[in-house]
Structure 1
Amino acid sequence: MKFLKRLRNRSKRRAGQAASYEHLRSEGRKDPVSLRAAGVGGGGGVPGRDLTKALPPTVLSKIFSFVCPHALDDSYDTSEESMTEDGCMLCDMRDLANCAQVCRRWRPEAQALLYSHVRIDAVHYCELEVELAAKRKQRHFDRNGDPIDAPQVRLTLLMRTVRDSQALADMVLSLRMPYMTREANKAELARTISVLPNLRFVDLPAGLYGDDPSCLTLKQELIARCPDLRRMSYRHGAEGSFARLPNVQLWANLEVLELSGLYVDDNTIRFSLSSFPKLRVLTLEDLPWLEDSLFAPSQSLPQFPAVQRLTLRNTPNLTASGLVALLSAPEVQQALLYLTLSSTGILPQDLHRVLSTAPRLRGLLVTQEVARSFPAEQVPQLASQSLTLLHYEITSDTSGAYGMQPVATSYYTYLVGSLISNKLPSLRDLYVRDANFPETLLLAPPPRLLAGSEARGPNPFRTGLARPLNVYSKGLDEFEWNFTPYEPPSTRGKRDSFTRPVSLQDAQLSRPWGGDARKSVLVGNGFGGFLAVPVEDGRPKSSGGFKRDSRQDIWR
């Protein structure tokens, strides 16, 4: 009798599970994002006919990518860097997992997306988190009465899954998890990555980058089992591991490298960097003893790598002469696209030298605190045909400048002169740390009309910006960027029309902005018109509204 009772109970559980997933089929016609609306999952209104048999795997993968958009994130950003507001990533992964469970014929395509870029998030980024948090407090406790750590449970389940199925383990390319999860579960993380041979990126504890003894096992597994890693960092304490790189030949496909706080000389850096032939993103941070010899050409040392993105932070002994020497190499000139200079020895008045030797540079980010005014001698203006993004964040100490303009003002005057000379024709986005910069740019020398110029055609002495420019400004005591789209004067008919730029105060226009904004827009129509813009509150909802009642719901 007990055996028959057990069978009946198992049948009831299966029936309940089947009923809980039935809405995925019945609601498919109403949901525009569903598989049925995409032409998958039934005969398109023709009974007995399955149109999905004619769809190739690439088309099915494309359809599933709309169910879980972050499954296509092939970047090497950490969990904190890859945060997005476009829906709830946990809900999207749950929906994709349901597709793999319900639509068994599509399981390989759905599983390939589900396991390629795995995320173990701490919470749901939607209204479902409020409900689930309340349920966790009520019934999600361990034997000691302590609340269960949901990310830790998810990591344990993932570890068991990939260790039981090598086919699934081979699909994993990246693994992201919250900071506390990777710091508190080093042993489980080591056991997980030990079966992931194709892993390219994984969120690791901070101690691993500095050769902390508590991360020794994890680092050994990473070296032995993950030869295709694409991002790594070496920080203070890992000088020995970094110096041994030329002899061990680790991670030949490494693309992103960060060096921070290392006590090594320039020669060691050159030899170690030569171990990564595919390096394209390099960050040198907190290395105050580095000098221009790091970039100098040498017959006895390996050549400095030609990277696409170079970041220099807190390197006061690296000057413009050293960087220009690096950029004198043709392969470096053709490769460098983005350059970040923060608290370096490359002064703002020397930036024109850098731009003149970087013909393909698209983005330049400069963060510098100055103590002296801009030099009085004639300095060539900033000029670049390729630059589209410029962060010109020059600041100065204003504590003792009572009744006087800050020292940084002269640097922004130099920037205005470079802008109105139209020597930056491709520039579209400009970030400055001067709250008054938009007005300064607006009032910088206005167009001059000569007598009779209306009959002779355009004024040859006209100055000012010739192309639209998005200006993002922020004062020293502000936290959010103020956005001002600048529209240059345009000639219409026989009269020149000049309008003020549209100004969106504290506007949040994209993902990196975040936070609240003032709900007002100053519309430039020549009369100072003011228009209030309504703003819809609320976060985007997840791609699906399915909720499970099972106590073992791993997505909670």
Structure 2
Amino acid sequence: MGLFDKIRSSPRRSRRSAGTPATEPPTPPHSTGRDVTRKLPRAVLARIFDFICPHAFDHSYETSEDSMTDGCMLCDMRDLAHCSQVCRRWYPEAHLLLYTNVRIDTVHYCELEVILAAKRKRRSFFDRNGDLDAPQVRLELFMRSVRESRDLGKLVLSLRMPYMTREANKSTIARTISVLPLLRYVDLPTGLFSDEASCMTLKQELMASCPDLRRMSYRHGAEGSFARLHEASRWTNLEKLELSGLHIDARILRNGLAAFVRLKDLTLEDLPWLDDSAFEANSTLPPFPALELLTIRETPQLTANGLVSFLSATSNREALQDLSLASTGVLPSTLHRILAAAPQLRNLSITQEVSRSFPNEQIPPLKSQSLRLLHYEITSEVETHGLPPAANSYYTYLISCLMSRCLPSVRDIYVRDAQFPDTLLLAPPPRLFGGGESGPRMVGGLSQPLNVYSKGLDELEWNFTPYEPDCALGHHGARTRPVSFHEAQLNRSWGGEARKSVLVGNGFGGFLAVPEDDDRPQSSGGYKRASRQDLWR
């Protein structure tokens, strides 16, 4: 009987619930106000849309992998497309940004990708949508849009896509760029830079349809294309050029570079034949172009003499702002010559493996009033049979230059010595110019705030240590005890916490860092360590 009673009572409860009116939350009143965006200038609207879709304002010439922004780029582009549909006032600016710097990504970098991936894969017997290539479909849709409307093609300045997409869709890329006459940058397959047969159609289309290209690379196999550059004016507005693994001579190099009158960024990599003669002045060859950024890697025959000859020209000396050297014949002990010849240099990077210690003769210090960023990554062999590594003497020379106030504008330094921050802060004052005990002592000290990024040979992350300048002399000429906010942001193995210390004399002319007493227990009985990684407690 209990079962029948339960069955009879169920409809009654449903009827009672059906007769009871449902209580819904009241809808908020619709308020209509003045649209203040109608009075905003177009530049202000574009600036607002910049925060909605940041990559739409990316006018650099970097690849898709190197130009990623925080967040989900596909969602940002979708939001910008929705903004173009709000009103006629917003449409021109949003529409222009949508097609200026186009980016095709593989996936959504948010939780929406999980939902979309499940929708793309139809769970049926034949599983017809299981192999859908989303970036390829997006590229084909973009190609159809610009080919059906040539006005859209004239808006596109850059086109970025994933590596696998550009490698597997050469014909689609060729059909797309054929209607993009103002294109400045496009992600291209690797074979195009080496003149592979599978990419010749794409390269011919690129030369015919995109005369305003701003970045190009020539690698091993493209020697013939580079040698013919001076015969025809092609890509005269090129700003960034990369040469890697080419087997050419200095004459072909200078003639090819002369074809790019607006070249600003040059990268020379894996050119073992490149020597000082390629940079020296020669009346029979075109002059070396004035560059703002010069990167040289894997060129063992190039020395400081060639770079000094390059900087002897006034136009080159005033234009160069960024110089990067890696595995070249330029010795760290000759960097002072380059800095003396480059008064506008702001960033300097040298990566070198040394086998000998710093020379014992008196080497002038590194002097520059304009240098702000210094990558001084000197390494040597770890196994030295009990002797100190050869790289230590090079970092001693760098400390001498810093403490002698020869680099007053430097704010950031990157070194490959894990002990460099402590050596700079605690060690006794080293002798200048590598002169040993007979060399002159340095005077002064750090006169500017300095950020030191150090990393050992067995470390993967940079350790950050900020420094403050030394305390000035008091009113009576007495030096107060220096205080350093030595906040080294340690890596994860140290717990990621910073340490604060004050400096006291160590009895040898230097200083010793001890932990601050603020908020510290006076005895071990009054406080327990929260974790094993808290080394100070």
| TM-score bracket, shorter-length normalisation | 0.7 to 0.9
Instruction: Report the Cα offset of residue 531 of structure 1.
Output: 9.8
1:426-445 matches, within 5 Å, as 426-445=409-428
Deviations 1:239-258 (A, max 9, x none): 00000000121101000000
Secondary structure at the counterpart of residue 204 of structure 2:
helix
> Does 378-387 or 118-127 show the bigger shift?
118-127
Whether 2:308 is the aligned partner of 1:324: answer: yes
Match for 2:269 among 281, 285, 307?
285
Letter in structure 2 aligned against 1:54: K
Aligned to 2:406: 423
Match for 2:381 among 376, 387, 397?
397
Letter in structure 2 aligned against 1:61: A
Whether 2:84 is the aligned partner of 1:100: answer: yes
Whether 2:46 is the aligned partner of 1:61: answer: yes
Instruction: Report the Cα offset of residue 486 of structure 1.
Output: 1.1
Give the number of aligned pairs: 470
Instruction: Report the Cα offset of residue 523 of structure 1.
Output: 1.9
Letter in structure 2 aligned against 1:528: P
Secondary structure at the counterpart of residue 302 of structure 2:
strand
Shift in CA distance, 379/310, structure 1 to aligned 2, threshold 3 Å: same
1:51-450 matches, within 5 Å, as 51-85=36-70, 87-138=71-122, 144-399=128-383, 401-445=384-428
Q: Could you tell me how far apart the structure 2 residues matched to 1:121 and 1:331 are?
A: 41
Instruction: Report the Cα offset of residue 462 of structure 1.
Output: 5.7
Preserved contact between residue 392 and residue 432 of structure 1 (Cα < 8 Å): yes
Deviations 1:69-91 (A, max 9, x none): 11111111111111222x22111
Match for 1:474 among 452, 455, 459?
455
Secondary structure at the counterpart of residue 61 of structure 2:
coil
Q: Could you tell me how far apart the structure 1 residues matched to 2:333 and 2:496 are?
A: 38
Shift in CA distance, 189/427, structure 1 to aligned 2, threshold 3 Å: same
Deviations 1:78-133 (A, max 9, x none): 11111222x22111101001112343442221110011000001122223333333
The structure with more radius of gyration: 2
Instruction: Report the Cα offset of residue 461 of structure 1.
Output: 8.9
> Does 232-241 or 56-65 show the bigger shift?
56-65
Shift in CA distance, 111/407, structure 1 to aligned 2, threshold 3 Å: same
Shift in CA distance, 461/483, structure 1 to aligned 2, threshold 3 Å: closer
Preserved contact between residue 78 and residue 203 of structure 1 (Cα < 8 Å): yes
Instruction: Report the Cα offset of residue 139 of structure 1.
Output: 5.8
Letter in structure 2 aligned against 1:340: S
Match for 1:519 among 459, 484, 496?
496
Deviations 1:171-224 (A, max 9, x none): 100001110110011111111111000000000000000001111111111000
Shift in CA distance, 242/462, structure 1 to aligned 2, threshold 3 Å: closer
Secondary structure at the counterpart of residue 257 of structure 1:
strand
Shift in CA distance, 186/477, structure 1 to aligned 2, threshold 3 Å: same
Q: Could you tell me how far apart the structure 2 residues matched to 1:461 and 1:324 are?
A: 28
Whether 2:476 is the aligned partner of 1:489: answer: no
Q: Could you tell me how far apart the structure 1 residues matched to 2:123 and 2:344 are?
A: 59
Deviations 1:297-319 (A, max 9, x none): 01111000000000000011111
Q: Could you tell me how far apart the structure 2 residues matched to 1:209 and 1:140 are?
A: 43
Q: Give 5+ residue unaligned stretches, structure 1.
A: 1-25, 30-41, 448-459, 508-514, 533-556
| Larger RCO (alpha carbons 8 Å, 6+ apart) | 1
Deviations 1:249-305 (A, max 9, x none): 110100000000000100000001000000000000000111111011011110000
Secondary structure at the counterpart of residue 521 of structure 1:
coil
Q: Could you tell me how far apart the structure 2 residues matched to 1:138 and 1:244 are?
A: 53
Preserved contact between residue 520 and residue 531 of structure 1 (Cα < 8 Å): no
Shift in CA distance, 141/94, structure 1 to aligned 2, threshold 3 Å: farther
- The alignment's C-alpha RMSD in Å is 2.6
Secondary structure at the counterpart of residue 384 of structure 1:
coil
Instruction: Report the Cα offset of residue 46 of structure 1.
Output: 5.4
Q: Could you tell me how far apart the structure 1 residues matched to 2:43 and 2:203 are?
A: 36
Secondary structure at the counterpart of residue 501 of structure 2:
coil
Aligned to 1:548: none
Deviations 1:508-548 (A, max 9, x none): xxxxxxx999421112345514999xxxxxxxxxxxxxxxx
Q: Could you tell me how far apart the structure 1 residues matched to 2:390 and 2:354 are?
A: 7
Question: Structure 2 length normalisation: TM-score?
Answer: 0.83
Q: Could you tell me how far apart the structure 2 residues matched to 1:329 and 1:268 are?
A: 21
Shift in CA distance, 142/50, structure 1 to aligned 2, threshold 3 Å: farther
Q: Could you tell me how far apart the structure 2 residues matched to 1:517 and 1:74 are?
A: 39
Shift in CA distance, 138/472, structure 1 to aligned 2, threshold 3 Å: farther
Secondary structure at the counterpart of residue 317 of structure 1:
coil
Shift in CA distance, 341/483, structure 1 to aligned 2, threshold 3 Å: same
Letter in structure 1 aligned against 2:60: S
Secondary structure at the counterpart of residue 180 of structure 2:
coil
The percent of aligned pairs where both chains have the same amino acid is 61
Instruction: Report the Cα offset of residue 446 of structure 1.
Output: 5.8
Secondary structure at the counterpart of residue 258 of structure 1:
strand
Preserved contact between residue 363 and residue 390 of structure 1 (Cα < 8 Å): yes
Deviations 1:475-515 (A, max 9, x none): 011111000001122248666132344233346xxxxxxx9
Shift in CA distance, 506/174, structure 1 to aligned 2, threshold 3 Å: farther
Preserved contact between residue 505 and residue 517 of structure 1 (Cα < 8 Å): no
> Does 49-58 or 404-413 show the bigger shift?
49-58
Aligned to 1:464: 445
Preserved contact between residue 482 and residue 502 of structure 2 (Cα < 8 Å): no
Letter in structure 2 aligned against 1:409: N
Aligned to 1:510: none
Preserved contact between residue 490 and residue 498 of structure 2 (Cα < 8 Å): no
> Does 95-104 or 349-358 show the bigger shift?
95-104
Secondary structure at the counterpart of residue 84 of structure 2:
helix
Shift in CA distance, 216/506, structure 1 to aligned 2, threshold 3 Å: farther
Whether 2:512 is the aligned partner of 1:528: answer: no
Secondary structure at the counterpart of residue 427 of structure 1:
coil
Q: Could you tell me how far apart the structure 2 residues matched to 1:469 and 1:342 are?
A: 24
Secondary structure at the counterpart of residue 284 of structure 1:
strand
Aligned to 2:535: none
